[in-house]
A and B are shown apart, each in its own frame.
Chain A
Amino acid sequence: MRRLWVLVGAASIAASAFAGEIPRSERRSGYDFMGRETRAMQDDDTANPGMLWVLEGESLWDRKSGAAARACADCHGDARTTMKGVAARHPSFDAALGRPVNLEQRINRCRTERQNAPALASESRDLLALSAYVARQSRGLPIEVAVDQRMQPFLDAGRATFHRRQGQLNLACSQCHDDHWGRRLAGNVIPQAHPTGYPLYRLEWQSLGSLQRRLRNCLVGIRAEPYEYGAPELVDLELYLMWRARGMTIEAPAVRP
């Protein structure tokens, strides 16, 4: 554990070498940039449309699936206790794959390995419902992805992607979200890009969506070729973003404009 903290410490010193890294005291969730009405919508569980997916995930959790005829609940029991904090720790290292996996991939690994069921498609209703239900159990808990020696190269890769100019507009994520947060891009306030509420309900999508959907959106916005769902580059970027938001509170399922 001690070694881990030393590593985390070394990594944060390395990170602060980058210009524009947001100091901890100034870190703000996208929630703080929203209007009063949208905030009220997120805060009220009977007005938050993301809760429809949570409700559905709750029933999927108990449903037997696949050749093993096993439900999530058969191994994991009551999600309200066993899944507490799980979303706050993802992406996490998967020893079998030798690389980090995000929450959606973890759910699908469980499906293929334990339930003998086909993996759920990215952004499918069932996968979003399950990940929303699991993420809901971490609401109010601080983000704490464990970065050890095995994770470090992937975190570095994610950081490199975040700072790399790409696309026809030749923009890096950091140019908006580190250097110009709080200012406006057309009519919208640029947030700091802390993934505190995923999967979240975007009013623009009129649906729940994963962090990868959001990242692909951003990539299209800078006219870059978006990575495929589940691509290692996206997972590394997710890992970096979660690490960058460490200590911030999970608010899943969030609502965003």
Chain B
Amino acid sequence: MASALINVPARARRGDVIEIKTLISHVMETGYRRSQLGARLPRDIITLFVCTYNGTEVFRAELHPAIAANPFIVFSTVATESGTLAFHWTGDNGFSVTESARITVE
């Protein structure tokens, strides 16, 4: 299952600093834990999160083991023009999710 919750203000004034909140469903298995039978649980984490604003990268985060499940990433950017914010998470086992949100800048 892959679902994400994105919170971007629908409208903003040019030059405003806007806060963007993202929450994605992921187990973030560290790769260091063992099952009750002693077998090592293979690592399964999100490794990279990128946000682009009308194609320009505005935020990037590399994720590592020991980051909690369902990563909640909050960051800010400057509202420059109306358009689309695209969010992309990639990770182990071919994990890849893309979401987008519209913003109107006046």
Interface residues of A (CB under 8 A from B): 44-47, 49, 51-52, 55-56, 125, 203, 206-207
Is B1 touching A206 in the complex (CB atoms < 8 A)?
A: no
Please name all residues of chain A whose beta carbon is closer than 8 Å to the beta carbon of B68 when the two chains form the complex: 203, 206
Contact flags (1/0) for B1-38 with A, using CB distance below 8 Å? 10101110000000000000101110010000000000
Please name all residues of chain B whose beta carbon is closer than 8 Å to the beta carbon of A207 when the two chains form the complex: 69
Residue of chain B at shortest CB distance from A203: B68
Please name all residues of chain B whose beta carbon is closer than 8 Å to the beta carbon of A44 when the two chains form the complex: 7, 21
21 A-B pairs whose Cβ atoms sit less than 8 Å apart in the complex: A44-B7, A44-B21, A46-B6, A46-B7, A46-B21, A46-B23, A49-B23, A49-B25, A49-B70, A51-B5, A52-B5, A52-B25, A52-B70, A55-B5, A56-B1, A56-B3, A56-B25, A206-B28, A206-B68, A206-B69, A207-B69
The 5 closest A-B CB pairs, nearest first, are A46-B7, A206-B69, A52-B25, A49-B70, A46-B5
Residue of chain A at shortest CB distance from B72: A47
B100 to A: closest C-beta gap in Å? 15
Residue of chain B at shortest CB distance from A126: B1
Range, interface on chain B = 10 to 19
Residue of chain B at shortest CB distance from A125: B1
Residue of chain A at shortest CB distance from B4: A52
Please name all residues of chain A whose beta carbon is closer than 8 Å to the beta carbon of B1 when the two chains form the complex: 56, 125
20 additional contacts (CB under 8 A) given A45-B5, A56-B25, A206-B28 = A46-B5, A46-B7, A47-B7, A47-B21, A47-B23, A49-B23, A49-B25, A49-B70, A51-B5, A52-B23, A52-B24, A52-B25, A55-B3, A55-B5, A56-B1, A56-B3, A203-B68, A206-B68, A206-B69, A206-B70
Is A52 touching B3 in the complex (CB atoms < 8 A)?
A: yes
A247 to B: closest C-beta gap in Å? 31
